[in-house]
Amino acid sequence: MPSDPRVAAALAALKQPIAEFRAAVQGALAQADAFLAAQSADESTRASRAGIALGEFGARHISAAGFAALFPAVAPADDASQKALARAIDILRSVAAQGESLFVAEVTKGRRLGATIDDALAVAGRAFGAIIITELVRGGRYRAAEHDRLLDASEFRAWNKAERRFAPPLVVEVDGADLHAGALLDFADGREKLVLVVRGDSAPAALVRCVTPGTFVLQTVDGSGLDRLAGYEGPAIAAVVPEGAAVFMHDPTAGKEAWQRITIAHLPALPTKAVGGSSAWQLGEDLKMLADLARTPFAVPGALGAKGAPAMGAGEAVDRLASWLLDSSGLAGTA
């Protein structure tokens, strides 16, 4: 088990997408094993299997050996196809045998966040390639010159739409100073789920620059909201941050406008010191951006038709609107 309890909690929240990825690997492995076993079966074994398929009545009237010769269980594959399938099976077995480490990565000293995620997901990329190889060989469509490269490690940018939809989730341990949101944007596609477990001081609103209309974004201190992230059908990025950082959720399903989609549970004061390579001014800009995105855009009319007040927060807007309604109705001061 991971030593940091926050990693274990993140893995627990991601159990459904983890199970879906494992099921895809196990299903492909079972099909590949069965196909390879059928290829290597001798005449006696083929006849025995054909007899079982024919049943008691059919076996009395039809030669099982003759039936097996005329209607083999699988189409014969050449040596090159069988070797490629054997390689694909080795990859699938290796991936299937890995435990939680398959879904956990750590940004070590001197490495970048984006490169760490790329390397971790490259394992899944090989699994996707192996799944495709099994389908090509079973369908008699495998061509070595064209398809062998599928078994090489491939970075997320090279994955197709279907692969991105079934990408495995990843929990990444990272020091706050190394958390650069720009590196995460390359992975905001398909149904990729990234959860960062942040160690030490970090930018107070590090993930605000990941907010786009279709990306679920979460900053949480105690893991709240990770269940919502796991169930979201699009790309999702979260960070389990230290106490004192901003706590917010951007849920694309909550509305069309940014202020409808963003909920802020905690907005800290503007920072006074740098974190990593970001100055206090830059960190403050991120906090201001978060506040601006969440600000309710109500404009309350002024007295005697004057220009409406500027956009404001929801609480302030309710008070201003109630006051304006009382003034307009002539009921103000009559209570």
CA dihedral 120, 123, 129, 135 (to 10 degrees): -130
Write down the pLDDT at residue 335.
53
Report the SS3 class of residue 104: strand
Task: Please give the pLDDT value at position 116.
Answer: 95
Alpha helices for the chain (secondary structure H): 5-13, 15-40, 43-61, 64-70, 79-97, 113-138, 144-147, 161-165, 226-231, 258-261, 280-294, 314-329
Residue 10 amino acid letter:
A
In this predicted structure, what is the pLDDT of residue 70? 46
State the pLDDT at residue 306.
Answer: 53
Half-sphere exposure of 238 (CA within 13 A, CB side): 33
If 0-12 CB within 10 Å is exposed, 13-18 middle and 19+ buried, where does residue 170 land?
Answer: buried
Residues pairing with 104 in the sheet = 171
Coil vs helix vs strand at 55 = helix
pLDDT at position 322: 74
DSSP string, 178-245: G--GGGGGGG-STT-EEEEEEESS--TTTTGGG--TT-EEEEESS-TTHHHHHH-SS-EEEEEPPTTS
Residue 176: CB atoms within 10 A of its CB come to 20
pLDDT of res. 68: 43
Q: What is the longest distance spanned by two Cα atoms in the chain?
A: 102
Residue 65 has a pLDDT of 54
Residue environment code for 194-220, b if the CB has 16+ CB neighbours within 10 A, otherwise e: bbbbbbebbbbbbbbbbbeeebbbbbb
Output the tens digit of pLDDT for each of the chain's 335 residues. 457 899 999 999 999 999 989 998 999 999 888 887 776 645 565 545 544 554 555 555 555 455 444 444 445 678 888 899 899 999 999 999 988 889 999 999 989 999 999 999 988 888 888 988 888 888 888 898 888 888 887 788 888 887 888 889 999 999 999 999 999 999 999 999 999 999 999 999 999 999 999 999 999 999 999 999 999 999 999 999 999 999 999 999 999 999 999 999 999 999 999 998 899 999 999 999 999 999 877 655 555 555 555 555 556 666 766 776 777 766 666 65
Q: Is the pTM of this model over 0.85?
A: no
The alpha-carbon radius of gyration of the chain (Å, integer) is: 28
What are the tokens at 157? 């940018």
CB 182 within 8 A of CB 207: no
Q: What is the pLDDT of residue 16?
A: 92
Question: Domain spans of the chain?
Answer: 15-168, 297-335
Q: What confidence score (pLDDT) does residue 56 get?
A: 58
